[in-house]
Structure 1
């Protein structure tokens, strides 16, 4: 068993069965054994994946004491700074990942962008940061009945709006820079 979250155990099986990225820069790491670069948060987060090739990390935020960890919010811990709520729960993060868009995180905000768009990208045979994304989308449909987020930024903004006050109250005293203008994401 990889994690105390059945959805992440299924994701680990999927990841072990593909030979390339299914979401840009995404790789599962040992569940809860890292502090994501934020040791002051380690008692309330459980890192579980690299979010980017440069070292940003996804972590479960232990917002409360609910037993089903998959229903807790997911944070993005930026490798160059910034901590943001990016999903209300693990299934919502899976939808964001299935978009195939890459996260970019700083202290002020987090934004997902499609690396495949623009010059030389997409269907023209250019760079594809996640060649196994179609297989991941099919897996997400089969196991969870979910579709990829058409606009991952809308998902992230909704999660940030819903959880922003609780997040700011928790993280503000620990990492003041994470609370830019009183609101995140």
Structure 2
């Protein structure tokens, strides 16, 4: 078993069955075995994947004590700084990943690199069509039509509890107005 989250175990099986990337820069890493570069957060996060080719990481935010970890928010831990909410839960992140969305962030912002904007013949990763089929077959989910809107909505919805939690631990992660960094 890869993780205490059935959806991540299924994703690990899928990842092991393909020969190439299925989402830009995304790769599963050892579940919860490090702090994602943010030691003050280590007791409330469980890193699980490389988010992009530059070293940013996705982590489950243990916001509360619910048993189903897949229903907890997902954070992006930036390799150049910055911690941001990117999904309300794991299924939402999978929809964003299937769209070809790739994150870049710093302390003040979360930028969205959407490969679909680069080329009308969009082919983000060789295994993306297989991932989209897998997502539909396993979970009945489709790729997000507007991944940026999904990410922005998650950040807005969780802004206050996120700022209240992270502010005392990493003050740079919270804007001067007490809100989480702008998205």
Report TM bin, short chain: over 0.9
Matched ranges for 1:25-104 at <5 A:
25-104=25-104
Name which of structure 1's ranges 149-158 and 75-84 shifts more when overlaid on structure 2. Answer: 149-158
User: Are 1:146 and 2:128 matched, yes or no?
Assistant: no
TM-score (ref. length: structure 1): 0.93
Would you say how many aligned residue pairs link Structure 1 and Structure 2? 180
* Structure 2 counterpart of 1:183, from 160, 180, 183: 180
User: Contact (CA 8 Å) 2:105, 2:111: kept in 1 or not?
Assistant: yes
Residue of structure 1 equivalent to 2:121: 123
User: Contact (CA 8 Å) 1:25, 1:129: kept in 2 or not?
Assistant: no
Distance in 2 (CA, whole Å) between partners of 1:122 and 1:131 is 16
Shift of 1:116: 4.6
Q: Which runs of 5+ in 2 are unaligned?
A: none
User: Contact (CA 8 Å) 1:59, 1:76: kept in 2 or not?
Assistant: yes
Residue of structure 2 equivalent to 1:171: 166
Residue of structure 2 equivalent to 1:9: 9
Give the 3-state SS of the residue equivalent to 2:14 in structure 1: helix
Q: Which runs of 5+ in 1 are unaligned?
A: none
Shift of 1:112: 2.1
